[in-house]
Amino acid sequence: MSFASGETHGAPTVVAPGDRGAIRIADRVVAKIAAQAAREALGPLPKDAVPPHATVVTHHETARVRVHLELDYPSDIGARCAAVRRHVVERVGALVDMEVPEVAVHVERLHPAHTQGRA
Is 66 exposed, middle or buried (CB count within 10 Å of its CB: 0-12, 13-18, 19+)?
Answer: middle
pTM greater than 0.75 (yes/no): yes
**Type of residue at 72:** D
pLDDT tens by residue, 33-71: 999 999 999 999 888 899 999 999 999 899 999 999 999
Q: How far apart are CA 38 and CA 32, in angstroms?
A: 10
pLDDT tens by residue, 69-117: 999 999 999 999 999 999 999 999 999 999 999 999 999 999 998 743 4
List Cβ neighbours of 35 (8 Å cut-off, separation of 6 or more). 51, 52, 53, 54, 67
Is 72 exposed, middle or buried (CB count within 10 Å of its CB: 0-12, 13-18, 19+)?
Answer: middle
